[in-house]
Amino acid sequence: MNNSYDITILGGGPGGYVAAIRASQLGLNTAIIDQDPLGGVCLNWGCIPTKSLLKSAEMINSVKNAEQYGIKISSYKIEHSVIINRSRQISERLSKGISFLMKKNNIKHIHGRGVFSSKNSIKVSNGKKVTNIQSKNFIIATGGRPKNIPGVSFDGKQIISSKEAMVLNKPPKDMVIIGAGAIGCEFAYFYNTCGTKVIMVEMMDRILPMEDEDISKELNNRFVDSGVVINTNAIVEKVEKLKTKVKVHIKNGNKKIVVESSTVLIAIGITGNVDDIGLNTIGVNIDNGSIIIDEYGQTNIPNIFAIGDVSGPPWLAHVASAQGHVAVEKIANHNTRPVDYSNIPSCTYCQPQVASLGLTEAKAKEQGYKIKVGKFYFKSSGKALSIGEPNGFVKIIFDSKYGELLGCHIIGAEATEMIQELVIAKSLEATWENLALTMHPHPTLSESIMEAALDAYGIGVHQ
Ligand SMILES: Cc1cc2nc3c(=O)[nH]c(=O)nc-3n(C[C@H](O)[C@H](O)[C@H](O)COP(=O)(O)OP(=O)(O)OC[C@H]3O[C@@H](n4cnc5c(N)ncnc54)[C@H](O)[C@@H]3O)c2cc1C
Decide: 219 and 184 in contact? Cβ < 8 Å: no
Reduced to 3 DSSP states, what percent helix, strand and coil does the chain have, rounded to the nearest 5?
A: 35, 25, 40
Task: Give the C-alpha distances (Å, rounded to integers) separating 229 from 97, 349, 389.
Answer: 40, 19, 23
When pLDDT is averaged across residues 418-436 and rounded to a whole number, the result is 97
The answer on pLDDT for 355 being more than 60 is yes
Strand partners, 115: 123
Average pLDDT of the chain, as a whole number: 97
The answer on pLDDT for 2 being more than 90 is no
Q: Indicate which residue's Cα is closest to atom 26 of ligand 1.
A: 308
Gap between the Cα atoms of 448 and 234, Å rounded: 35
When pLDDT is averaged across residues 360-367 and rounded to a whole number, the result is 98
At residue 3, φ and ψ (nearest 5 deg) are: -105, 40
Give per-residue pLDDT as tens, 396-410.
999 999 999 999 999
Give per-residue pLDDT as tens, 206-219.
999 999 999 999 99
Give the three-state DSSP class for 245.
Answer: coil
Gap between the Cα atoms of 95 and 36, Å rounded: 10
**Cα 128 from chain centroid?**
35
pLDDT at 357: 98
Query: Model confidence at 463, in pLDDT bands (50, 70, 90)?
Result: confident
Gap between the Cα atoms of 220 and 390, Å rounded: 17
Decide: 131 and 124 in contact? Cβ < 8 Å: yes
Q: Indicate which residue's Cα is closest to atom 47 of ligand 1.
A: 36
Cβ contacts of residue 403 below 8 Å, gap of 6+? 372, 431, 432, 433, 457
Decide: 34 and 42 in contact? Cβ < 8 Å: no
What is the 8-class DSSP label of residue 431?
A: B
Gap between the Cα atoms of 57 and 274, Å rounded: 35
When pLDDT is averaged across residues 65-94 and rounded to a whole number, the result is 97
Q: In ligand 1, which atom is closest to the CA atom of 165?
A: 1
Give per-residue pLDDT as tens, 104-154.
999 999 999 999 999 999 999 999 999 999 999 999 999 999 999 999 999
Q: In ligand 1, which atom is closest to the CA atom of 113?
A: 42
For residue 175, what is the enclosing H or E element? strand 174-178
Decide: 240 and 226 in contact? Cβ < 8 Å: no
Gap between the Cα atoms of 440 and 344, Å rounded: 23
Gap between the Cα atoms of 393 and 379, Å rounded: 8
Decide: 29 and 6 in contact? Cβ < 8 Å: yes
Report CA(348)–ligand 1 centroid distance (Å).
17
Gap between the Cα atoms of 400 and 432, Å rounded: 10
Task: Among 10, 18, 42, say which to mutate for ligand 1: greatest number of ligand atoms within 8 Å of CB.
Answer: 42
Residues with a CB atom less than 6 Å from ligand 1: 10-16, 33-36, 40-42, 46-47, 50, 113-114, 141-144, 162, 183, 273, 277, 308-310, 315-318, 320, 349
Task: Among 17, 38, 47, say which to mutate for ligand 1: greatest number of ligand atoms within 8 Å of CB.
Answer: 47
Query: Model confidence at 462, in pLDDT bands (50, 70, 90)?
Result: confident
Gap between the Cα atoms of 38 and 11, Å rounded: 8
Give the three-state DSSP class for 120.
Answer: coil
Alpha helices in 234-314 (DSSP H): 279-282
Alpha helices in 65-79 (DSSP H): none
Residues 215-238, buried b or exposed e (16+ Cβ, 10 A)? bbebbbebbeeeebbbbbebebee
Q: Indicate which residue's Cα is closest to atom 35 of ligand 1.
A: 11
The answer on pLDDT for 304 being more than 80 is yes
pLDDT at 4: 97
Gap between the Cα atoms of 42 and 94, Å rounded: 10
Overall residue count recorded for the chain in this entry = 463
User: Nearest Cα to 9, choosing from 126, 91, 102?
Assistant: 102
Strand partners, 412: 353
First to last CA, the chain: 68
When pLDDT is averaged across residues 340-348 and rounded to a whole number, the result is 97
Q: In ligand 1, which atom is closest to the CA atom of 307?
A: 26
User: Nearest Cα to 348, choosing from 50, 103, 10?
Assistant: 50
pLDDT at 1: 56
Gap between the Cα atoms of 145 and 351, Å rounded: 25
Q: Please say if 442 is a catalytic residue.
A: yes
Decide: 116 and 122 in contact? Cβ < 8 Å: yes
